[in-house]
Structures are given as C-alpha cells and as structure tokens.
Amino acid sequence: MKEKSIEKVAVIPKLKQRKRVAAYVRVSTDKESMLHSFTAQASHYKEMISKHKDWEFVDIYADYGISGTKVNRPEFNRMMDDCRNGKIDMIITKSVSRFARNTALLLATIRELKALHIDVYFEEQNINSLSEQGELMLTLIGSIAEAEAKSMSENVRWSVTKFFKEGKVWGLHDIYGYKAVNNTYEIKEEEAYVIRLIFKLYIQDNFGFQKIANILNDQNIPSPLGFRWRFSAVRQVLNNFTYVGDLMLGKSSAPMNQRHGYKTNKGEFPMYHVLESHPAIISMDDFNKVQEIMAKKDVRFVRPKKDTSPFHGLIKCADCGRNYVRKKNEYRIYWVCSSMSNRKAANCNQTLSIREDILIDLTKETLKTTEFNEILLKKNIEKIVIHNDKTVDFVFKNKEIISLPFEFKSRSLSWTPEMKKEASKDSFKRWKK
C-alpha cells in the first residue's frame, strides 16, 4: 500500500483593508469669515484622518451658503454618489445640524448609508450612526435641530416684517439708478438718465423692449450688469416700481426654513406701500402708462389654447407604427400618419388619412354607444391602428381586437350648409381674380 504524502501549506494572512474616510462640511453663508471656517475644518479633518494608520483619506465635501434643510446640495449629493459607488466606508462631520436640519432627510440618508454599511460619525454629539442607539439618538437630535431652524426662520421673518412696518428695507443695497445711503436711496444721475430714456422710448416713441435694447447698445450704454442690453433688462426697468419714489415692501417671500427660492407674494403675507420714501426718477403717471401699454400688448399676443382631442396618442400607423397627427383645413378635421405629415413618406408606405367624423362613428360602433363617449374610449381602448386597405383595428386594453372597414363619405353628403357657403365664397373670390 502506497504511503500518503502530506505537505504543509503556508497560509498567507489576508491583509486588512484600510477604511476609506471622508469628511462633510457645510457653511451656511459664503462670507469670508465662513470660508476661513471651512479652511480650518478641512485642516482639522485631514489631520484627524492621517493620525489613524488604518484610515485612508478620500475627500472633503463642502457646501457653501446652502441651508441644511435643502435636498439639493451639490457637494452633499456628490458625496452620496461616491458612497453608492463604493468609494467611502466612513463619513465624519461636525454635527447633526451641519449634516441636515430636516429630520426626515437626515433619517432617510442615514438609513441609506446604513444599508451600504457606511458609518457616519458626528463629532460634536459623539455618535456613530451604525451603533445600536445611533438612529434613536439621531432622531431626537435631528428633531431639535429642525425645531431650531424653524425658530430661527420665524425670528428672521418677524424681524423683516417689523422693518417693513417701519417703512424700512431689509438689507438695503444699490439698485440700477440708485445708491443705498443710510437706509435710503440717492439718485445716480448717469443711470437715472438711461431710465428716463427707456420710459420715453417706450411711451412716446412706442418702441418695443428689443428695439430699445438695440438703441442703448448702439449708444454703447452698459446694462445694469455691465454687459449688452437685452429685452428682459429693459422690461425689468419698466416694471420697477421703486423708480416712482415709493417702496412696495413684501412683494416676495421665501418658504419657511429657506433663504432661497423666493416666490411672488400673492396675498399670503401683508405688503406695505411706503409713500415718498426716496427721490423719484420717473413720475407715477409715466409708470402707470407703461403698465397700461404692456397690458394691451399682452392681450394682443396671448397664445390660443392648444386644440386637444381624445384621440391624441391613440391612433397608430399599421405600416411604420408612428402616431397619427390631427390636421385641419377650412372644411374638415382629419388624421394622417406623422411620417407622411413630416414629409418622411420614404420611411412609410401608408398614404391613407381618415376624417375625424368617420373615426367618431367607428368608435361609437365599436363601443356600442349612440353618443361619442370620451371616458369610455380612454377606459377601454389601448390603441387604434389604421391600415392602408381602409380597415381600422380597435385594440382593447384586454387585448381584444375589433376590425372595422370604412368608406369615405361622399364629399357632398358630408358638407354642412355653412361649409358649402364658405366654399362658394372662396370660388367667387378665385373667379374675380
């Protein structure tokens, strides 16, 4: 019997992988003092991570001037993408309020990171999100941070409202035509001249926004931003109520807990009209004339509502599979394959169009109704397929198919008396030519 040969195999120990660590920093404003704060925090976290031999520095993600209540934080989102892509094992941040002030956002983020086995260490509270009590503690602290943010927002809103009641502007700053001095406005004559010129060209010369912009550019007059004038900048000047010497305070408001995303105040909050708060550049009469002219032009150029049909998106071409599109002429409404309509007939052999009145009759026959019923059509029919052999397939949502042939009605029978009258007029006009 052959002896067994036993060899000792050396087992190579698996090297422990270094933990990949990143830091998240958020500064609520982009002022110079806050930028210094970011530099200090960045240095602190780089030093902290380098002291741990089993840690590997990944990156520092920093958002400037963005509230912790907001979802759209570019650097925060970049960090989360890197987490999802397996680039990070641990995140260090200063506090819960720096990470997120919205409790729902905080917990949703922590739970997603937990599912990815990524720990978040909150330095100020000394909490690890992967610990047993981590989520409970974060829920409590996150609720407190959210309440603090709400309280802060309410305090700011109260202060702003108090300023408005006193006829003062919160955060007064220069605007085109004025310089902010001691909580009021002083006229900048070189810019006031341009404002008066814009109002004159619009009222007296009846020029439009773009023509006025062209005139100002031809004279090498810089826009409020120092560039070429555009029609939008001209319109903004003509709409600026401040130029009459009054203030309208509270015209817009921001959602609670947010410093950005201002929306027009449509009566949710009080507005304050401060009379003769500063020197006027143009008269109230001229401002009102401009608004009247604008209103008349807006009415004249209102776009008509898009004509929709219950058949939109349902009618398909049997040859190329594309949608049929709705067309109108002076006498009737009809549907045609979009390939043919867009002059791409080479991609489709379908040459058949179908009148809408025929389509309505076929739909009533298919659904066994005496009147056309849009609700029944949408509820039951998945698509309507037009074949070149004058056959229409009604495909139901339960996959049942009903095929119906159709014939074009005689033109004379399908015309109403009004249509015949209009056609007669057109023929007379052509004859006179």
Whether 1 is in a domain gets the answer no
* CA–CA separation, 135 and 115 (whole Å): 13
Whether 320 and 277 map to the same domain: the answer is no
Q: What is the dihedral of CA 148, 150, 155, 159, to 10 degrees?
A: 150
Single out the residue in 252, 268, 300 at which a domain terminates.
300
Residues 363 and 265 in one domain: no
- Within-domain flag for 430: no
Residue 10 covered by a domain: no
pLDDT for position 65: 64
Domain encompassing residue 405: 315-417
Contact 399, 328 (CB under 8 A): no
* pLDDT for res 126: 83
**CATH code, domain carrying 108:** 3.40.50.1390
Domain membership flag for residue 14: no
Task: Compute the CA torsion angle 204, 206, 212, 214 (nearest 10 deg).
Answer: -120
Choose one of 242, 276, 300: the last residue of a domain.
300
128 and 209, same domain (yes or no): no
* 269 shares a domain with 330: no
Ranges of residues in the chain whose predicted pLDDT is under 70: 1-16, 28-38, 65-71, 101-103, 132-172, 248-274, 298-307, 341-347, 408-433
Same domain, 24 and 144: yes
Total domains in the chain come to: 3
Task: Yes or no: say if 153 and 126 are a contact pair by the CB < 8 Å rule.
Answer: no
**Angle between helices 231-238 and 189-203 in degrees, nearest 10:** 100
Domain assignment of residue 3, yes or no: no
Question: What phi and psi values does residue 138 have, to the nearest 5 degrees?
Answer: -65, -35
pLDDT for the residue 220: 92
Query: The tokens of 196 are what?
Result: 């008066």
Identify the pLDDT of residue 260: 46
For Cα atoms 208, 212, 213, give the angle at the middle one, nearest 5 degrees: 115
DSSP character at residue 349: -
| pLDDT number for residue 95 | 81
CB atoms within 10 A of CB 301: 7
pLDDT digits (tens, 9 = 90+) for 219-260: 999 988 888 898 889 998 998 888 888 776 655 555 444 444
- 224 and 268 in a single domain? The answer is yes
Q: 216 and 293, same structural domain?
A: yes
Tell whether 186 and 282 lie within a shared domain.
Answer: yes
pLDDT at 70: 55
Spatial strand order of the sheet with 333-337 comes to 324-328, 333-337, 354-355
Residue 8 located in a structural domain: no
Q: Note whether 331 and 266 are same-domain residues.
A: no
User: pTM of the full predicted structure?
Assistant: 0.38
- Is residue 128 domain-shared with residue 79, that is, in the same domain? yes
Which CATH number characterizes residue 189's domain? 3.90.1750.20
Whose CA is closest to 100, among 57, 149, 65? 149
pLDDT of residue 259: 46
5, part of any domain:
no
Residues 144 and 23 reside in one and the same domain? yes
Verify that 293 and 326 share a domain, yes or no: no
Residue 170 belongs to a domain? no
Last residue of a domain, one of 300, 325, 353: 300
